[in-house]
Amino acid sequence: MSNLSLYNQAFPSRLLLGTAAYPIAEILRRSIETARPAMITVSLRRQSTAGETHGQGFWNLLQDLNIPILPNTAGCQSVQEAVTTAQMAREVFETDWIKLELIGDDDTLQPDVFQLVEAARILIGDGFKVLPYCTEDLIACRRLLDAGCQALMPWAAPIGTGLGVVHEYALKVLRERLPDTPLIIDAGLGLPSQAAQVMEWGFDAVLLNTAVSRSGHPVDMARAFAAATEAGRLAFEAEPVQPRTQAQASTPTVGQPFWHSAEY
């Protein structure tokens, strides 16, 4: 399986994992060690499900895992808020990578693609490697590429729903029309089979959080998603047979010992 390439940097895995909402820190650690993702996402604002603020112990855990960190701007609703959060994250995590989230609707957590383009342009001008969380809208994605983004993160479904791919046609069109752009499916996947499916379509990676952290057994689910993501990519690179409506024998008909007449 080929490596994932983002902003001219190679990653051995095509799975990215979030770090929010795990029951305890030990399960988070074991899940990440099991999946060995390309990157792990973190937020300056995040708190644990127990209500305890993640302090030095959490940061020590992330450093011990030795996995590249992808800070995000989760919860931001304006360009200035997103830009300021990204700049703060760069200081805290000492990285120019940023997952740019700019939410336009509180119920669906749908990205505000208009403000997203503006924020992306500012951050790229400031030297960030921007991975924007966006919809599957082709025109909005083109505007993000025009702003300087070298990779995109379209959603499969609203964050945390586990619905899988809601708009299959739009995602397939996006993949077809942007063949040279790394596309990472971010948000909405609930099952490993859904991750395998989008990878078979030619998407470059998947990013997960809720599907793993809120499952009954996060460590096992992390392992399952890692295997499914790899299997899907291997299947894509193996060039699957094209579906057809008519049956086609897999064994040769030449040299059959018996001849079956069409007349009865």
Say if residue 188 carries a ligand binding annotation: yes
What is the Cα–Cα distance from 158 to 137, expressed in whole angstroms?
14
* 172 assigned to active site: no
What is the Cα–Cα distance from 243 to 213, expressed in whole angstroms?
36
Closest residue by Cα to residue 31 from 175, 214, 233 = 214
Closest residue by Cα to residue 195 from 187, 34, 52, 101 = 187
DSSP string across 10-61: EES-SEEEE-SS-SSHHHHHHHHHHH--SEEEEETT-B-TTSPBP-HHHHHH
Under 8 Å CB-to-CB from 176, ≥6 apart: which residues?
none
- Cβ-based neighbour number of residue 26 at 10 Å: 11
Q: Which DSSP category does 245 fall into?
A: S
* Phi/psi at 113 (5° precision): -70, -25
Say if residue 195 carries a ligand binding annotation: no
What is the Cα–Cα distance from 75 to 45, expressed in whole angstroms?
8
Say if residue 209 carries a ligand binding annotation: yes
Say if residue 210 carries a ligand binding annotation: yes
Number of helices and strands in the chain (H, E): 9, 10
Q: Which of 14, 99, 121, 233 is flagged as catalytic?
A: 99
| C-alpha 200: how far from chain center | 14
Closest residue by Cα to residue 138 from 178, 81, 103 = 178
Residues comprising the binding site for 1-deoxy-D-xylulose 5-phosphate?
160, 187-188, 209-210
* Residues assigned a catalytic role: 99
Residues comprising the binding site?
160, 187-188, 209-210
